[in-house]
Structure 1
Amino acid sequence: MPKSDSDYDLGRNFIEGKPTVLEICLKTLRHRLPFAFPYCFAFFAVFAIAAEGDSPAWQRVDESAELRELAEHENQSMHFKLLNSKVLDKNSLWAPFLDELASFSADRYQALKPLILEQDIASIQASVASGAMSYAELSTFYIYRIREIETDNTRFINAVISLNPDAIDQARRLDRQREQGREVAVDSMFGIPVLLKDNIGFEGLPTTAGSLALAENHAGNAFITDRLMANGAIILGKANLSEWAYFFCTGCPSGYSAMGGQTLNPYGRKLFGTGGSSSGSGAAMAANLATVAVGSETSGSILSPASANSSVGLKPTTGSLSRTGVVPISATLDTTGPITRSVADAVALFNAMAGYDADDTAMPLISDDSSLVYRDISPQGKRLGIIESFEDEPFYQSAIALLTGDGANAVSVSLASERNPRFSELLGGEMVRDLAYYLENFAAVGVAISNIEELQAFNAENPDLRAPYGQGLIDMMVELELELGAAELEALRVELQSSAQKQLQQIFADGGLDVLLS
């Protein structure tokens, strides 16, 4: 029998591989031939064990051929040293759900695909409201899909580091609330499965930032996690990321972490990078591994993976969403934000996370009612800043054509091409300070490190496992800590922030711009 795309029925294959033994044993029982009873009993015992474990299993395989192929890629950022994590047994992801997955048939999975794949929150809520599916089935569908993809050595993408063992039970509780008459808005996050980037705290799973140093960091909920859960969202699990939000190594690929391995792009596992550092969040959206995902950004870490994975990424102004309980890089620039498949879903997810957090010093005094409004605004007559250095990019040209076709006026502008060399100093100096604060105030008791120096030493003990691409930025931060005091760091922040604001304000003023297209 030919296998379908999702057919991993090991029990059926077992039967098909041994038809004569099965036939003999059935005849033995039918004709009551006592001499064969022990042999047939043994056969059925083996079959029962096989049937009980009737599920696809992940097995570690030799990656050398794929790595040699990738070494020939024209893009050096695709020259990976490894694909799968050396420490993660993927079978542990879905182990808590074996009973639910065993009763969730391949036929039901196929039947739910049109209701879930590429659908937005409003469509999914409509399907639940109509009785076409339940929230429990929605979460089970995603877990089934994650297992299906990650056990296939031609399709795995390493987008997920961990799954919440209580996700399906939580979804069932929400189903009961709905059955008892709870009203659910069409754009509500109630019952909607969310993947969190694994630097965002959730008390049901470790918060690792992709690092083995935080493998046992069973920290509490981040502020935005509490907000999501208060709005009924299901925390499905944690998404892979570029380790330490890509402020860790130099010349290393986006999407790699020691905990999760190398995140791969669903649109071309060996062709395209994932962007980063919210790599798993972006790839999970492209692969339909959850309804929505949450990322974080210091400089490009939401927008880059959203772009690379053809998703919608919203990088809010720092202070719009809380960072409390998120493993930090920079208090000046860090923010959390949505990665979704539609603008409407980005709005819904943002609003479910929004709220005033008195512990986040970047937050203005806003009310809990602050929210985004999804509106259809015409670009007619708007002055659109076009960056000269991007004008030859095909996707950029397409965006310009769409907007000018709807009436926008294109205005060519130029930006300084050189990145301020002291920008990395600012990020490094703030990460030294802010990570130490996080580890003291939010990390679980007993984690392996308490500061940057201890992280450097931890990785140096086993670099092949913990830092296969080196830890160049960690080394830089250790040196920087000796050179840059608190007063110097604050002066550097003020200088760089003021310079950037003046440059941007000047560009808008000179061109009379309404929007800058980046």
Structure 2
Amino acid sequence: MKRIALFLLIIAAACEQKPKTIIPVWEPYDETAWLEENAAHESVRMQYKLIQSKISDKNDMLNQIADQIIYFSKEDYQKLTPFILEQDIPTIQSHIKSGDLTYETLTQWYLYRIALFENSKDSALNNIIAINPKAVEEARKLDKNKSDNDHLIYGIPVLLKDNVNFEGLPTTAGAAAMVNNYAKDAFIVKRIKEKGGIILGKANLSEWANYYAMVNPNGYSTVGGQTLNPYGPRKFDTGGSSSGSGSAIAANYAAVAVGSETSGSILSPSSSNSIVGLKPTIGLLSRGGIIPISSTLDTPGPMTKSVIDNAIFLSAMTGKDAEDAATTDSPEGLKYYEDMKTGTVEGLRFGVIKGFLADTTYLENVSKIVAMGGDTVVIAPEQMDYNGFTTLLSGDMKVDLPHYFKTYAGDSISYTSVGDIVAFNKKDTTINVPYGQGRLEEIAALDITMDSLVSLRAEMNRRGKSYFEKPMQEHNLDIILSINNWTAGQAAVAKYPCLTVPMGYSKEGQPKGITFIAKPFEEAKLLKVGYAYEQATKLRRLPEAYR
């Protein structure tokens, strides 16, 4: 009996794990010098008034991480880094299969990395608003239930832009007015979870998806503070409005992230942070449960480090949503990633925009596409008339935001109009809207009939299609080549899909993306072409300070 008792004591002692990682308490810092330095920045969008959030305590986010990595050490992080850092999803899944990783350690690695960089003022990017406190617990369950038939997103940590509902965390759109918006899962989140994707947390964004003030920095929100670009914090713009998604994926804080776009809000931060971003055809992915600007133009989309990951993540989110009529024609069950390696540019005809050829990086990459076997035609599309564009967005938001409040918001949200948000912000404009709320005030005051709005939607769509279709038909083009989000407005109203892929860096190190544009529901073509280009060029590199 004594031997048995001693044995049990030894086993009990062995099972008592001592904490390996204790996260230090975050201390707010004096940001005065950095703000003064940026006051002279050449871009008004980088003339910051604030970097740290005035209403959020970063320790709340760090505490959501702390208990989940308490037994995960620095040595564990370093040992696993070669299996995860900059690796694509198929490679990560191969390491899971070989036993070098588990979904639990994969999730802990990302959480450790977030805590490592976000708990220092010199490396913090402010790109994460909140962490799912059950992420590691969910990963453990997935480790026990693996199947050979699982979707490739199974067990992969995912970040959501914080205008996308997730039942475990508030959905704020970065706004003080929405900090208590505990809502049910968005349609695309249900799809991700059904396939085993792990919601790691919420990414920062440009507040209200960049549609609340007349002039404001990309990446700033009252809840999250100022998102920074890992390639040049306070030097390079993050792009907007999916700024946190772009910055976080660039820094390898998660495998993939959801962004959303009305006009440029995936393309801009993806190209600015040297990642791959897809703005899908309107209606390919549901908007149900996503805080809107415009039901006419809004779409979520995947933001990833590679094209293969983009295709995998896109396939995980697709599906018809009975609550979103735009998805009626959405093709279901397409596995965009399955035949990616057959992708080629050979024999395809690309429209090269004449006005962009002065950009030497663009010119160099057009030459690379020619060398790969693509045919190029220089085109000079007619300038699109943007008159009415802002009225369209404002008119839609005046209708669509109340619809979100009524249909998708949490029970604690009692707002019924944009005017209610304006009134809330006026309680303390210094804290709630340091950059003002001129756009929201315009929306609240806008007087437009539904007939006029419907007519405007059709007219803007006609103009956008004309911008692309005239040269595409005249020259029998498959794809038009753009830069970053430079033709995002035209593609938005035309409802054309766009894929941006890293195409290099300026002399100063600022990332640039080449953007492929095709006709509606030609995402498979875009992804194959993007994959072929990416594999031939391999131009993305990890931000130096986040290696």
Distance in 2 separating the partners of 1:120 and 1:52? 28
Cross-structure match for 1:486: 450
Alignment of 1:212-227 (within 5 A): 212-227=176-191
The answer to whether the 8 A contact 2:23-2:115 is kept is: no
Shift of 1:384: 1.3
Choose the corresponding residue for 1:445, options 411, 414, 425.
Answer: 411
Change (3 A) 1:254 1:96: closer
Q: Residues 165-189 of structure 1: CA distance to partner in whole angstroms, max 9, x if unpaired? A: 11000000001113xxx2255x611
TM-score computed with the length of structure 2 as normaliser: 0.82
The answer to whether the 8 A contact 1:213-1:448 is kept is: no
Q: Tell me the secondary structure at the aligned position of residue 279 of structure 2.
A: coil
Alignment of 1:76-475 (within 5 A): 76-178=44-146, 182-183=147-148, 188-366=152-330, 368-373=332-337, 374-417=340-383, 419-447=385-413, 449-475=415-441
Q: Residues 229-267 of structure 1: CA distance to partner in whole angstroms, max 9, x if unpaired? A: 000000000100111111111221111110111100001
Q: Residues 180-219 of structure 1: CA distance to partner in whole angstroms, max 9, x if unpaired? A: xx2255x611100000001111100011111111110001
The answer to whether the 8 A contact 1:282-1:311 is kept is: yes
The answer to whether the 8 A contact 2:162-2:204 is kept is: yes
Q: Tell me the secondary structure at the aligned position of residue 467 of structure 2.
A: helix
Instruction: Compare 309-318 and 499-508 and name the one that shifted more.
Output: 499-508
Change (3 A) 1:137 1:277: same
Distance in 1 separating the partners of 2:353 and 2:331? 36
Change (3 A) 1:132 1:371: closer
The answer to whether the 8 A contact 1:158-1:280 is kept is: yes
The answer to whether the 8 A contact 1:58-1:150 is kept is: no
RMSD over equivalenced CA pairs, Å: 1.6
Q: Tell me the secondary structure at the aligned position of residue 201 of structure 2.
A: strand
Change (3 A) 1:53 1:448: farther
The answer to whether the 8 A contact 1:184-1:190 is kept is: no
Distance in 2 separating the partners of 1:184 and 1:120? 19
Shift of 1:418: 5.6
Distance in 1 separating the partners of 2:31 and 2:365? 39
Q: Tell me the secondary structure at the aligned position of residue 404 of structure 2.
A: helix
Counterpart residue identity of residue 447, structure 1: I
Counterpart residue identity of residue 420, structure 1: Y
Q: Residues 453-498 of structure 1: CA distance to partner in whole angstroms, max 9, x if unpaired? A: 1111111221111111111211221221xx2111111111111112
Matched, 1:55 2:20: no
Distance in 1 separating the partners of 2:118 and 2:412? 31
Distance in 2 separating the partners of 1:52 and 1:137? 14
Distance in 1 separating the partners of 2:32 and 2:401? 36
**Number of equivalent positions:** 462
Distance in 2 separating the partners of 1:184 and 1:132? 20
Shift of 1:53: 9.1
TM-score computed with the length of structure 1 as normaliser: 0.86
Distance in 1 separating the partners of 2:335 and 2:327? 14
Alignment of 1:19-58 (within 5 A): 54-58=22-26
Q: Residues 423-475 of structure 1: CA distance to partner in whole angstroms, max 9, x if unpaired? A: 01001000110001010111012225221011111112211111111112112
Cross-structure match for 2:461: 497
Rg larger for: 1
The answer to whether the 8 A contact 1:214-1:448 is kept is: no
Instruction: Compare 262-271 and 440-449 and name the one that shifted more.
Output: 440-449
Shift of 1:97: 3.9
The answer to whether the 8 A contact 1:315-1:337 is kept is: yes
Distance in 2 separating the partners of 1:494 and 1:176? 51
Q: Tell me the secondary structure at the aligned position of residue 182 of structure 2.
A: coil
Bigger relative contact order, structure 1 or 2 (CA pairs below 8 A, ≥6 apart): 2
The answer to whether the 8 A contact 2:127-2:203 is kept is: yes
Counterpart residue identity of residue 67, structure 2: D
Shift of 1:372: 2.3
